[in-house]
């Protein structure tokens, strides 16, 4: 029987930016404000399959895998030692979920930095960015804009008739280039443009999500719920007015309220204490602004669920699916006209102690060599207007379009 590999974690140079550690295409990334992880290679890849039990299957496989490792951890902090990264499909019936333990992980957290190596993996040198013809060409969507507008109108009529309260419909946009897209280059651009977002790259899914589904640090849990969107304006006065209008919009607040309730209702029975922001605030990003509510709590003991298990319990929230969940999911499957893949699914990391962070895979693209699918969605409630929802998706798509466009 082969010996279990030793996982060694040692201090590293905190002056080197994580995005500058990326050695090439075989990378895994989770960065927020300069902190996070940059991984390379694969020490293990776990197959969690499809169906409603996939998070339970993944949690059990992770626990077994971690238990077999010999860990030599000189740091002993959340995210040190072996770390797994996950990117899960939105629909439980869709294949393609990824759960991987990198061979090498560079990490940075609150001024400290470290490197974790599994077995005898040799950390590669960072690859210099190669020039290439990465100008994007647009190749259309899974369904035409007019058909998507009809789908929004149909869904809104059902909401008005009382069939459901909210549903989120997404659309995609396919782009291509003469040379394969470089995920490391996209990560660097996104991290520089959206430092307040969680920039991620897992098995070809690259993006910068503003939405923190859940963070678990010991017994502490945090979530940042976003729903309700307005554009930005270069004029500070006009920009502030757009934010004020967003805060008082009945339609946007209704959409936001459903999203907050879906997270709070899931976390409440798992927590000894939970605090939900009384009123939404405005989160301003480079291209849009959102209604935001922060949720904080303390998990009930004695055995705390892992960050991966919490992500599974929360998914899908009303922010990306709708409410009631089953009714909204049925409408998505009927009207959206595409398979979301891992768009709008949980993406993030978890360590052997169960600590971790998971975002919702928004503002992202799935890379397939020289082709990519970009995604954006809009939440529909009573009073939603199809043309306004289409414009909202266009605003959101610009985040990834700008990353592909350069410089």
- Segment (H or E) for 116: strand 112-118
Q: Is 41 left (phi over 0), alpha (psi -120 to 50) or beta?
A: left
CB 380 within 8 A of CB 167: yes
* Active site (catalytic) residues: 166, 211
CB 155 within 8 A of CB 167: yes
The three-class DSSP label of residue 43 is: coil
Crossing angle of the two packed helices 145-160 and 386-405, in degrees rounded to 10: 130
d(C-alpha 231, C-alpha 239), whole Å: 8
Q: Is 369 left (phi over 0), alpha (psi -120 to 50) or beta?
A: left
CB 306 within 8 A of CB 356: yes
d(C-alpha 101, C-alpha 4), whole Å: 15
Nearest 5 degrees, angle CA 359-CA 362-CA 364?
Answer: 115
- Nearest CA to 247 out of 228, 231, 261, 275 is that of 228
């Amino acid at each position: 029987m082969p010996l279990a590999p030793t996982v060694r974690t040692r201090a590293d140079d905190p002056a080197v930016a994580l995005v500058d550690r990326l050695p090439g295409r075989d990378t895994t990334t989770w960065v927020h404000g300069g902190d996070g992880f940059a991984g390379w290679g694969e020490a293990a890849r776990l197959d969690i399959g499809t169906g409603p039990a996939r998070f339970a299957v993944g949690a059990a496989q992770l626990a077994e895998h971690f238990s077999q490792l010999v860990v030599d951890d000189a740091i002993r902090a959340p995210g040190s030692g072996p770390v797994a990264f996950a990117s899960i499909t939105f629909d439980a019936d869709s294949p393609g979920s990824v759960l991987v333990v990198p061979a090498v992980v560079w990490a940075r957290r609150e001024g400290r930095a470290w490197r974790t190596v599994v077995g005898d993996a040799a950390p590669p040198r960072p690859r210099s960015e190669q020039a290439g013809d990465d100008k994007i060409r647009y190749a259309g969507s899974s369904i035409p804009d007019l058909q998507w507008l009809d789908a929004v109108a149909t869904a809104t009529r059902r909401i008005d008739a009382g069939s459901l309260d909210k549903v989120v419909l997404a659309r995609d946009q396919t782009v291509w280039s003469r040379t394969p897209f470089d995920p490391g280059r996209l990560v660097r651009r996104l991290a520089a443009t959206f430092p307040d977002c969680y920039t991620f790259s897992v098995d070809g899914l690259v993006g910068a999500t503003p939405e923190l589904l859940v963070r678990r640090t010991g017994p502490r849990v945090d979530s940042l719920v976003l729903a309700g969107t307005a554009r930005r304006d270069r004029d500070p006065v006009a920009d502030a007015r757009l934010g004020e209008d967003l805060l008082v919009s009945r339609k946007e607040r209704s959409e936001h309220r459903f999203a907050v309730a879906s997270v709070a209702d899931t976390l409440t029975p798992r927590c000894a204490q939970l605090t939900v922001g009384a009123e939404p605030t405005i989160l301003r990003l480079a291209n849009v602004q959102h209604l935001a509510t922060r949720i904080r709590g303390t998990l009930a003991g004695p055995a705390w669920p892992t960050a991966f298990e919490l992500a599974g319990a929360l998914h899908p929230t009303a922010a990306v699916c709708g409410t009631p969940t089953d009714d909204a999911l049925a409408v998505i499957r009927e009207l959206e006209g595409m398979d979301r893949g891992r768009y709008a699914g949980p993406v993030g990391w978890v360590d052997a102690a169960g600590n971790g962070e998971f975002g919702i895979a928004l503002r992202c693209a799935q890379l397939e060599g020289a082709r990519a699918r970009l995604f954006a969605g809009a939440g529909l409630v009573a009073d939603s207007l199809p043309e306004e929802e289409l414009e909202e998706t266009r605003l959101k798509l610009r985040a990834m379009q700008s990353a592909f466009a350069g410089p």
